[in-house]
Amino acid sequence: NAGVTQTPKFQVLKTGQSMTLQCAQDMNHNSMYWYRQDPGMGLRLIYYSASEGTTDKGEVPNGYNVSRLNKREFSLRLESAAPSQTSVYFCASSEGGTGGYGYTFGSGTRLTVV
């Protein structure tokens, strides 16, 4: 089925380790987003890419980097993981980003940093 695919689904890291969360969409969407979800905090935007070749910081970018590899793929990298980055991470995409196109979400990556 068409949609947003995130890998891995689960990950446990030790403090200081690095990893990359992968996200790919097959809907030819222009805009892509990375969110983290923590209990009682709703969804908080980490980074977004309005279109291929551009990336911008969101609300909580510290400790993360992103790469818009091509139109389909948008990865999130944790260079040196910290326990505060334990969270559920969601990737989303949108046809236009701005306007009434709506957003399609992946199923999430549950990350635990010990």
Residue 50, both tokens:
């309005």
Residue 100, both tokens:
């009434």
Q: Is 53 in the site for another protein (CB under 8 A)?
A: no
Among 13, 23, 31, 64, binds another protein (CB under 8 A): 31
Query: Distance of alpha carbon 96 from its chain centroid, rounded?
Result: 17
User: Taking the complex as a whole, how short is the minimal distance between the CB of residue 41 and another protein, in angstroms?
Assistant: 8
**Peptide bond preceding 8 in cis form (omega within 30 of 0):** yes
Residues forming contacts to another protein in the complex (CB under 8 A) are 4, 31, 40-43, 45, 48, 50, 56, 58, 90, 92, 97-108
